[in-house]
Every structure is written in C-alpha cells, then in structure tokens.
Amino acid sequence: MGSYECHCLDGFKKENGNCEDIDECFMSPCEHWCKNTRGSYTCSCFEGFRQRIDDHTQCEIYCDKNECPARCDINDPTECRCPEGYIMDMPLQDKRVCVDIDECSANFCSHGCTNTFGSYICSCPVGFTLIDGYKCEDYSEEGSGFTTPSDTVTPTSNYTTDITSAMTPGGLLGIMVCIVLMILIIVFLVHQISKRRSSWKVACIHKNQGEDLQDLQQVTTEKYTKKSIFVNRDLKQDT
C-alpha cells in the first residue's frame, strides 16, 4: 500500500534507476545494415537490394528495369542469382543478366493483365470482382444478388520464379529438340551398323565354308592320286 514501481518502455532497459536505450544492432538482427535508434532500430539493404515485404530484417535482390546484371558470387562467378520474376540469360559468353519474365504471356489472369518489373497485375472489367488475385467473378445483381462493385484494379502478390538455369524458355526448348533429334540419329546409326555387321558375318561364314570345302576336295584328290600311284607301282612289280 502506498508504493509504486517504475517500468521502462520497449527498447529500453533499467540501469541504476534510469531507463537506458538498448542497442538492438549489437545482436545483428538485420541481414545487411542496421541503425540503432532511440528505443528501436532500422534495417536497410545494399545497393541493388530491397527489404522483403514480409520481413523487414531480410533483403532481396531488386531490379526496377527490364534487364539488370545478375548477382554473382565473387569467389565463384558461375554462382549467380536473379530477383523474383526474372530469369537469367547470357547474351555474351562472359556476361550474365537477369531479364524480366512477361507473366502475361502465360495467361495467368482470366481477364486483363499488366506486366510489371518482376511481377504482374490482374484486372477485371466493370461488373466483375478480382478473386484470388487472378480470376474474375460476376457479382452483378443478375448473377448473385450483390451490388456491382467499382472497376478498381487490385494488384496481386509477386510471382515467384525458381531460377535453376541460365537459359531462356526458347533456348531451353531448342536444346530439348536438339537432344531428341540426336537420340533418333544415334538409334538409326546403331541399327544400320548392326545390320551391316550381320550381313558381313553371314558373308564370312559362307566364304569360310567354301574355302573348307575346296581344301577338303584338294586333300581328297591328292590322296586319291597318291593311292593310284602306289597301286600302279605294286602292279608293275608283281608283273
């Protein structure tokens, strides 16, 4: 009764009866840069990056153009990354760039589609409402009893792309077609070689059989000739 207790605000700690600011940056909560502020802290990212929408302490690669240089590891130039919604391309042998994916060309939206850098926006005509970010449903009085909504364009969430190859979709399709053609050519060549080998073996067998028969005939003839000579010689001696 009649006593009180002091508490410090968030971001402060009690020391010697005073509330002192806590240096949150000491624990390195930010992926890139951290700036301590009174009672809190702020994170920032390196050039070419931006803070993630779902986590301000983390940074992601960012490109505000149709084409940007790829982010490659200094120690391993072959390990490169692109922002979400971009795909890696190699117009030159020693240069890797990230090219924006035109998601609208894949018909993700049921009605209108606007391609943006690293993403896209779906829209609906008047009398329809955007559902799940990509499809439009009729909410007119005749369709469902709801009032007709305004023709407001609702943006969708970013389209994520798993970057596992340094090729464009067209280049990847060309490689697959070439591989299939090469397999067909190899199968055809193997079949022709096997066919020729079989013909060659049959010819060799016939040739060897002919040579064996000829040798047999020669040996038989020689034996018959020698036997005739011996018989004639014996007859002369008897006479």
Residue 123 has pLDDT above 50, yes or no: yes
pLDDT tens column, 170-226? 666 778 888 988 898 998 888 888 777 776 665 666 555 555 555 555 545 555 555
* 112-116 vs 128-131, strand pairing mode: unpaired
Q: What is the tens place of the pLDDT at every residue in 105-115?
A: 988 888 899 99
- The label of the residue with tokens 């990847």 reads 172
Instruction: Tell me the one-letter amino acid at 31.
Output: E
Q: What is the pLDDT of residue 158?
A: 40
Q: What is the pLDDT of residues 24-33, one digit of tens each?
A: 999 999 999 9
Give the lowest-confidence range in 11-20, 38-47, 159-168, 224-233: 159-168
User: Which residues contact residue 97 at a Cβ distance below 8 angstroms, ignoring those fewer than 6 apart?
Assistant: 67, 68, 69, 70, 88, 89, 90, 91
CB 109 within 8 Å of CB 134: yes
For residue 83, the model assigns a pLDDT of 92
Among residues of the chain, what percentage have pLDDT more than 70? 67
Q: What is the mean pLDDT of residues 63-85?
A: 89
Model pTM score: 0.46
CA distance 143 to 137: 9
User: Among the ranges 35-49, 129-143, 191-205, which has the highest mean pLDDT value?
Assistant: 35-49
- Compare 92 and 161 and report the one with higher pLDDT: 92
* pLDDT above 50 (res 95): yes
DSSP state letters, 135-165: EEEE-STTTTSPPPPP----PPPPPP-----
pLDDT at residue 15 tops 50: yes
For residues 162-166, give the mean pLDDT.
Answer: 40
- Which one, of 25, 98, 28, lies nearest residue 60 by Cα? 98
Mean pLDDT of the chain: 76
Confidence of residue 239 (pLDDT cuts 50, 70, 90): low
User: Which of these, 97, 100, 84, 17, lies nearest to 52 by C-alpha position?
Assistant: 84
Instruction: Please name which of 148, 151, 153, 123 lies closest in space to residue 138, comparing C-alpha atoms.
Output: 148
Q: What is the pLDDT of residue 189?
A: 86
